[in-house]
A = this chain, B = another copy of it.
Amino acid sequence: MPAKNAFYAQSGGVSAVINASACGVIETARAHRGKIGKVYAGRNGIIGALREELIDTSRESKAAIRGLLSTPAGAFGSCRHKLQSLDENRAEYERLLEVFKAHNIGYFFYNGGGDSADTCLKVSQLSDTMGYPLQAIHIPKTIDNDLPLTDTCPGFGSVAKYIAISTREASLDVVSMCETSTKVFILEVMGRHAGWIAASAGLAAERDSDGPHIILFPEIAFDRTKFLARVKRTVKRHGHCVIVASEGAQYADGRFLADSGITDAFGHRQLGGLAPGLAEMVKSELGYKYHWAVADYLQRSARHIASQTDLDQAYAVGAAAVEFALQGKNAVMPCIVRGSGKRYRWHIGEAPLQKVANREKKMPRSFISRDGFGITQAARDYLSPLIAGEAYPDYRNGLPRYVRLKLEPVARKLKTAFKV
């Protein structure tokens, strides 16, 4: 019997290092050719499996696969598509099994965040409920750093580094300009309902006078009066004020400061656009000249300044997923375990998917300063090693050389199409 093939797909918002996890999966699978056949990647995540749109990664050269290490975003395409329960949409599961059977797929690697972990968990149960032998391993990825049971999530460290650097740089800009011009600068960052990314901006400050002076966390209810008083005090004291605001910042009643009115396929509200509103608030109440920036996708695709630690961990969870599969495991996720001791060390552990799916890990209150506007030493100790090391890509003509895969499709074996 030929070795079972593997299915690998990317899901949810992409990151600067998710392709490094793909590289870890494919290189490790290639090193075990006798036990794992080919790695088929889903074109646009789980949708690729449902539509039988598979990409044959064996057609990619060794160099191209290595190139994934230094290429941001999702090389195989990602998706926002959540499988319903078996009861709600049995057809989808039957289709998945049909595709997996047709292509002799025995390993399922799904690379994503909390929602994707849920999808992976549902697939892992197919083995029992529908009698098809399949091992499903989830590979953690989310810039929001909100997965439980792992010390950190691959993708986060690089965004944290980008935001910390950008905050330090923009703060110097504002310091230069504040005497006659901009007094208040607002940087809006991602992170959904968790303040991890916003917190990372706090690393930019070495002294009390350094920006950011105010961080707005989703975990702390926004109080307009208190906020404006703090802005005013900061400008009086330092001549300027740098604010980093999480897109998930919200009022005490749960309303987001920035609700775009759009809902995604996972049922989440799309956030973004909080910075101009805050700027307007500062201008109308305090009269200060402002500038604001919204980093949006720039922050999560910034492979040009990825964290080496993050990159190493992204590769490692990909490689570990294959090793777990070879050990016969199912419904698990490789996670990052932080060693004890002052010097940062980490290794790969194993987390049961049942305890990962659909749970959000928010910032502990002990990471946020008492006044709610900054980070504590505990947060610094946690965050600092995650942004260590600069994993620069190669350049050609002044621009990063990001790999382009051939993305050759696997010939279809099924007669029927499936509409997603």
Taking Cβ atoms with an 8 Å cutoff, the residues of A that contact B are: 10, 13-14, 16, 44-45, 47, 71-75, 77-81, 161, 164-166, 168-170, 172-177, 179-181, 185, 187, 203-204, 262, 264-265, 270, 272-273, 275-276, 289, 291-298, 300-305, 307, 384-390, 392, 395, 397-400, 402
B203, A398: Cβ atoms closer than 8 Å = yes
- Could you say which residues of chain B place their CB within 8 Å of the CB of A303? 169
A203 to chain B, nearest CB (A): 7
CB < 8 Å neighbour of A181 from B80, B176, B181, B295: B80
Tell whether, in the assembled complex, residue B392 and residue A397 are in contact, meaning their CB atoms are under 8 Å apart. Answer: no
Residues from chain B with Cβ under 8 Å of A204 in the complex: 399
Query: Do residues A176 and B10 form an inter-chain contact, with CB atoms below 8 A?
Result: yes
Do A304 and B169 have beta carbons less than 8 Å apart?
Answer: yes
Does A13 contact B387, Cβ atoms closer than 8 Å? no
A384 engages B398 (CB within 8 Å): yes
Name A207's closest neighbour in chain B (CB-CB).
B404
Contact in complex: B301, A169 (CB < 8 Å): yes
* 8 additional A-B residue pairs with CB within 8 Å, beyond A16-B169, A291-B296: A13-B177, A14-B176, A47-B179, A73-B173, A79-B179, A203-B398, A293-B295, A305-B305
Is B398 within 8 A of A14, CB to CB?
no
When all copies of this chain in the complex are counted, the total is 2
| Complex: A417 Cα to B402 Cα, angstroms | 57
CB of A71, distance to nearest CB on chain B (Å): 7
Q: With A179-B44, A180-B265, A298-B295 in contact, do A395 and B399 touch (Cβ < 8 Å)?
A: no
What CA separation (Å) do A361 and B175 show in the bound complex?
A: 29
Which residues of B lie under 8 Å from residue A262 when comparing CB positions? 289
- Chain B residues positioned under 8 Å from A388 (CB to CB): 397-398
> How close is A209's CB to chain B, nearest CB, in angstroms?
11
Contact call B78/A177, Cβ cutoff below 8 A: yes
Given A203-B398, A397-B384: A181 and B73 interface contact (C-beta under 8 Å): no
Which of A180, A264, A292, A388 has the most chain B CB atoms closer than 10 A to its own CB? A180
Query: What are 28 A-B interface contacts by the 8 Å CB criterion?
Result: A13-B177, A14-B176, A14-B177, A16-B169, A77-B176, A78-B176, A80-B181, A164-B399, A166-B302, A168-B399, A168-B400, A169-B303, A170-B298, A172-B402, A181-B265, A185-B297, A272-B291, A272-B292, A275-B294, A291-B296, A291-B297, A292-B296, A293-B294, A305-B305, A384-B397, A385-B398, A389-B398, A390-B395
CA distance A251 to B180 in the complex (A): 30
Taken together as a complex, chains A and B put the C-alpha atoms of A270 and B72 apart, in Å, by 34
Contact at B272–A399, with CB atoms within 8 Å? no
Contact, CB under 8 Å: B170 / A301? yes
A302 to B298, CA, bound (A): 13
A390 lies within 8 A of B392 (CB): yes
Which residue of chain B has the shortest Cβ distance to A289 in the bound complex? B262
The docked-state distance in angstroms from the alpha carbon of A136 to that of B377 is: 49
**Smallest beta-carbon distance A346→chain B, Å:** 15
Residues from chain B with Cβ under 8 Å of A270 in the complex: 289
Nearest to A270 among chain B residues (CB) is B289
Q: Which of B275, B293, B384, B402 contacts A168 (CB 8 A)?
A: B402
Shortest distance from the beta carbon of A291 to any chain B beta carbon, whole Å:
5
Q: A164: nearest residue on chain B (CB-CB)?
A: B399
Q: Smallest CB–CB gap between A294 and chain B, Å?
A: 5
Is the CB–CB distance between A74 and B176 below 8 Å? yes
Residues of B within 8 A of A174 (CB): 297
**Closest B residue to A265 using CB positions:** B180
Min CB distance, A88 to chain B, in Å? Answer: 19
Distance between A228 CB and nearest chain B CB, rounded to angstroms: 19
Shortest C-beta distance, A401 to chain B (Å), equals 10
Q: How far is the CA of A80 from the CA of B272 in the complex (A)?
A: 31
